[in-house]
Structure 1
Amino acid sequence: MASPSPSFKTARPNLVLAMLLLVYIFNFVDRQILSILAAPIQADLDLSDAEMGLLGGVAFAVLYSVLGVPLAWLADKTSRSWVITGSLMIWSGFTALCGTAVSFTGLFLSRLGVGVGEAGGVAPSYAVIGDYFPSKRRAFALSIYSLGIPLGSTIGVLAGGYIAAQIDWRTAFFVVGLAGLVIAIPFKLIVKDRPRLASENAPDSPQFGQIVRLLARKPSFWFLSFGAACSSMLGYGLAFWLPSLLQRSFGLDLVQTSQFIGAVMLLGGVAGMLAGGWLADRLGTRDKAFYAWVPASAFFIGVPLFSGGIYTSNVWAAFALFLIPQAMAYVWLGPVLTAVQHLVPPPARSTASALFLLINNLIGIGGGIYALGALSTALTPIYGAEALRYSMLYSLSLYAVAALLTACAGPFLRRDWVAEITPPAAP
């Protein structure tokens, strides 16, 4: 196998990782800002919880999940950095357009556009990280990148809540959308594709159908994908509806809600993300099964603590109880994403990641946010104003299922893992 060119060897992986992280932060700012703006949007456009669930879940998830596969394949075959740059510009533009919506239909179509753009951002970024960082450091590098989730979510709820309180919810969409467009040019100037190895351009390099068949034969892929999807149903559902719960059941205003959510996501999310990557890199060198067992353990720990936080009526007790399970909710990303990268040869990493994300996001985002909203609507005749609280409590069973499925992937990873013949150049 050919070696990477000298220019790639002298690249600065940490700078590339920082730029990828910055783009991912904007990815989640644009994705999650709708949650903190749900109350003023519902009041302005007269929308039900079920309709907001559609806007937060299905409107975003369908095209985001489905288009992620062909865009990742395109990135593998052409330029990963160009696909990420173009995606950033599209989703940022449609986020700004959300601020012009005057009806459910208009906002739904704009959210579809956000999903189209974000479809091409994540899987190619995983592959770029795989190119720049060796296997023994990859889980931690992916955990650093995944900090974009809590950081972006925190910035989204804080900035969105503040702007909406001071001006209006439309301006919040305009500001974050235009900010994303600004960083597209410096991103493309800094993040360069790794020169293609001769084997990656060879006629016998993995084609799309071959990659699908390869993954389909590996039980670890299915256990990890559906385990992550179950956890994402709950994770995305809680992240989207928690602001509404805090306002309805705890009496917080918009700014107080954004501060509560921001602090929980920032403190718990960052700690859990880094811990997951660090543990997986340490334990995974001894036994590949730990790339599944570390997340499974975190899911089990999270269930009772989330239950306590949702059930309590004291806002300070809720804050304390949410911190640890919020960390546990993010532990899985570094280990699982690293494992998926190692189920295929390096030239197929974007495509494999996109196939994983297709399952995870279509079920997780598309199903979780809508399911919690629809369940809340259905429970309203029974629980009244507390229906959303009980919708969340009933949904915690998804974490138990996620823990079981992910744990089952462990033994299969020992067999399914694809060793790298020639690792990426060290920093």
Structure 2
Amino acid sequence: MTNYRWLICGMLFLATTINYMDRQVLSLTWKDFIAPEFHWTDADYGRIAAIFSIVYAIGNLFSGRFMDWIGTKKGYLWAIGIWSLGACMHAFCGVATAQWLGLEGKEELINAVGTSTAVIASVSAWFFIVCRIVLGIGESGNFPAAIKVTAEYFPKKDRAFSTSIFNSGSTIGAL
């Protein structure tokens, strides 16, 4: 059981690292890649970041109760599944924008950019926000689940150390 516990702690560290990397990638790629490609403004970035943060904060209020109700194994699986879905959904924002606006494929979307850039940018930003909402709901389960796992799998004498290990993933992920 001793080695198994520390393996679980390592997995919590990796999950927390990925959790924070998902958050940081937007700010790291905004100016050079995302804003120019999608014609988004700093106001769009502010909306995207603010809505994600609000959903994440509210999700934290409920995810702890959810982990207590369903259990850590199933609850953490749900949390990781939802945040993975949210992360994958980002790849389909362009397709969803084209479909929403009634454009047939990538070429028509690219040709339409010159005439209706503001509409396309607005619609694509809102699809992106929906993806960030799903990501925030899923990611909000990470800390309640990880803390509960350390309480269930580690004796009192090792809990602070194991918590510091998985929590350091947030710092590594933010780099």
Q: TM-score, normalised by structure 1?
A: 0.32
Following superposition of structure 1 onto structure 2, how do residues 246-261 of structure 1 map, counting pairs within 5 Å? none
2:160 counterpart residue number = 139
Q: Is the 8 A contact 1:83 1:121 kept in 2?
A: no
Correspondent of 1:101 among 85, 93, 103: 93
**Number of residue pairs aligned between Structure 1 and Structure 2:** 145
> Equivalent residue for 2:48?
55
Where does structure 2 lack aligned partners over 5 or more consecutive residues?
95-123
- Judge conservation of contact 1:30–1:92 (CA < 8 Å) in 2: no
- Aligned counterparts of 1:20 and 1:133: Cα–Cα separation in 2: 13
1:74 to 55, 58, 66: 66
Shift of 1:14: 0.5
Tell me: higher relative CO, structure 1 or 2? Use CA pairs within 8 A at least 6 residues apart. 2
Could you tell me how far apart the structure 2 residues matched to 1:78 and 1:109 are? 26
Report how far residue 10 of structure 1 moved. Answer: 6.2
AA at the equivalent of 1:63: V
> Which whole-Å deviations, capped at 9, do the CAs of 1:274-320 have from their partners, x for residues lacking one?
xxxxxxxxxxxxxxxxxxxxxxxxxxxxxxxxxxxxxxxxxxxxxxx
- Residues of 1 paired with 2:43 and 2:159: CA distance? 39
Return the letter of the residue paired with 2:52: F
Match of 1:164 in 2: none
Specify whether residues 131 and 119 from structure 1 end up closer, same or farther in structure 2 by C-alpha distance, changes over 3 A only: same
- State the SS of the aligned residue for 1:99: helix
In structure 2, the residue matched to 1:120 is 141
Answer yes or no: is the 8 Å Cα contact 1:87–1:121 preserved in 2. Answer: yes
Matched AA of 1:144: I
- Which residue identity lines up with residue 19 of structure 2 in the other structure? N
Deviation at 1:45, TM superposition (A): 1.9
2:23 matches 1:31: yes
1:46 matched to 2:39? The reply is yes
Which of 110, 125, 131 is matched with 1:110 structurally? 131
Paired letter, 2:59:
L
Show CA shifts across 1:317-341 (max 9, x none): xxxxxxxxxxxxxxxxxxxxxxxxx
- 2:150 partner letter: I
1 CA distance for matches of 2:167 and 2:2?
25
Q: State the Cα distance separating 1:144 from its structure 2 match.
A: 0.6
Secondary structure of the corresponding residue to residue 37 of structure 1: helix
Tell me the residue number matched to 1:86.
78
Question: 1:152 offset after TM fit, Å?
Answer: 2.3
Q: CA deviation at 1:11?
A: 7.0
Q: Distance in 2 between matches of 1:46 and 1:38?
A: 11
Q: CA deviation at 1:71?
A: 2.4
Instruction: Indicate the percent of aligned positions where both proteins have the same amino acid.
Output: 27
1:161 aligns with none
Q: Kindly provide the amino acid, as one letter, of the partner of residue 87 in structure 1.
A: A
Assess, with a 3 A threshold, how the Cα gap between structure 1 residues 77 and 97 changes in structure 2: closer, same or farther: closer
User: How do residues 25-424 of structure 1 correspond to structure 2 at under 5 angstroms?
Assistant: 25-39=17-31, 40-56=33-49, 58-102=50-94, 103-153=124-174, 265=175
Hey, what's the Cα distance between the residues in 1 that align with 2:36 and 2:144?
Answer: 36
| Contact 1:59–1:109 under 8 Å retained in 2 | no
- Point out 4+ residue stretches in structure 1 off by more than 6 angstroms: none
Q: Distance in 1 between matches of 2:137 and 2:69?
A: 20
Say which one has the larger Rg.
1
For residues 136 and 22 of structure 1, the distance between their equivalents in structure 2, rounded to whole angstroms, comes to 23
Question: 1:238 aligns to what?
Answer: none
Q: Deviations over 1:175-201 (max 9, x none)?
A: xxxxxxxxxxxxxxxxxxxxxxxxxxx
Q: SS in structure 2 opposite 1:47?
A: coil
1:64 match: secondary structure: helix
Q: Is the 8 A contact 1:126 1:142 kept in 2?
A: yes
Distance 2:167 2:136 in 1: 18
Q: Does the residue aligned with 1:12 lie in a helix, a strand or coil? A: helix
Give per-residue Cα distances to partners, 1:234-255, cap 9 Å, x unaligned: xxxxxxxxxxxxxxxxxxxxxx
Match of 2:159, as an amino acid? R
Q: Which runs of 5+ in 1 are unaligned?
A: 1-8, 154-264, 266-427
TM superposition shift of 1:16: 1.1
